[in-house]
Amino acid sequence: MQFGPRQIVTPFRPIPLDVPEGMAPNEFFNSTENLNDLANNNGLLKNPENLLMYRKALGHSNEFDTSIIYNTSKKILDPLGRPVRRTQVPTATKKVWNRMNQVLINYMIEIYPDPEQTLLLAGEASLDATWSLTSPGVPSIRMLHNHFMAFDKNRLSKADMADQNNPNLTDGGQNSLFQSYMRDVYSDFFSSLNFNILKQTSKGSSKIELTGYPQGLPSWKIQGGVDALKDICFWREYDQVLKGFLDFYRAFFSQVSTRNAPVPEKAYFPDQIERILLFNNDFMGAAKKVRDQCINNAKYANVIRWQPAFKQLIYRNDEGDLIVTISQNSIGNAITELLGVVVKREPNAEEYEKAEPALIEKLLEVRKRLINADLGEGIETPYWGSS
């Protein structure tokens, strides 16, 4: 068998939405009108915290695929003003969201217990809030949302090999920049953070053998497995990974933007930034390389996201361990591509409808568990009832 990233084809039922003339599709997809369709035709569950669970109409996987979105579309009309990362979500909302994550991940592991048969992942992708809506790669719904999905490994093994030079797999070169010039300081910075449940993995131990991904990303094993997700301390550490990443990214691109810049304002770990990053010659030298390239190459400078954008996920490795990893979301690549899975969506209602009954059955079952845990109420749509 060949090992490497795979491209799978996922059929979907075309969405009966007409984009108004003169409006770009991703502009329309961020509108309240589209969010109404998402809730009314694909919504599964909602709660007072404005968290909406829904079926993915244009999904990554027809095995298991759902999302929870922090639906602020009616409260915040300006798409650029909406929360795009967990650190911007109200505490009460985040507490409920963490519990919903725990229920969904536990259910996925229950129905797909064998790591040799099924690849499982759950995570979120944020974007730079200043990124233009019409720029390539901007997510179609500009609000923070989590993904929960499963891929049949047998199907993945038979899928076509993906192009290893696909920019979505290389993360636009930014991850290779971190790994080529700052691997040690990147690791040292994360090692300085205080974790009890998360344990940093050794190089290569977190890879999925079939795809060879993730590549070069910091990763942590969740000690205690799925039971640890019931502990609020785990979610605090999960947030700490994000805060550490945000600090590293801000500190680096502050140096790219302004030579010898100070510690960024409102940094979560200012002491570590000053002690580990700003006094490290590799870190400062890499910033100079990027700064010089920005000065001399307008196209290169234009694609940089100066504010932190990220993908953070929990996935199951080949040994059955739950792993946390994080990467910069430099070009809007899909969260599945962190694990070497490229999804090609194709409109094919007939093929989608073959998989739909089993998919909906699972989504309604996990919805029932969320309702029983007082995490929301069911939504009635033309395809299913509210209970």
Does pLDDT of 99 surpass 90?
yes
Residue 113: pLDDT above 80? yes
- Is 374 a member of any domain? yes
SS3 content of the chain, % helix, strand, coil (to 5): 45, 20, 40
Q: Is residue 334 part of a domain?
A: yes
Name the pTM for this structure: 0.92
Instruction: List, for residues 342-361, the tens digit of each pLDDT value.
Output: 999 999 999 999 999 999 99
Among the ranges 32-46, 135-149, 315-329, which has the highest mean pLDDT value? Answer: 315-329
| Residue 8: predicted pLDDT | 94
Q: What percent of the chain has pLDDT over 70?
A: 90
| Of residues 305 and 59, more confidently modeled | 59
pLDDT at 133 over 70: no
The answer to whether residue 384 sits within a structural domain is: no
- Asked whether the predicted pLDDT for residue 18 surpasses 60, the reply is yes
> Would you say residue 385 lies in a domain?
no
How far is the CA of 306 from the CAs of 14, 64, 273, 334, in angstroms? Answer: 35, 34, 18, 20
Q: What is the mean pLDDT of residues 94-103?
A: 97
Q: How far apart are CA 107 and CA 286, in angstroms?
A: 43
Domain containing 357 equals 6-378
**Letter string b/e over residues 174-189, b meaning 16 or more CB atoms within 10 A of that residue's CB:** bbebbeebbeebbeeb
Question: What total number of domains does the chain contain?
Answer: 1
Average pLDDT of 85-92? 90
Residue 387 lies in a domain: no
Residue 50, both tokens: 């404005």
Looking at the domain assignment, is residue 383 inside a domain? no
Does 114 map to a domain?
Answer: yes
Residue 248 forms part of a structural domain: yes
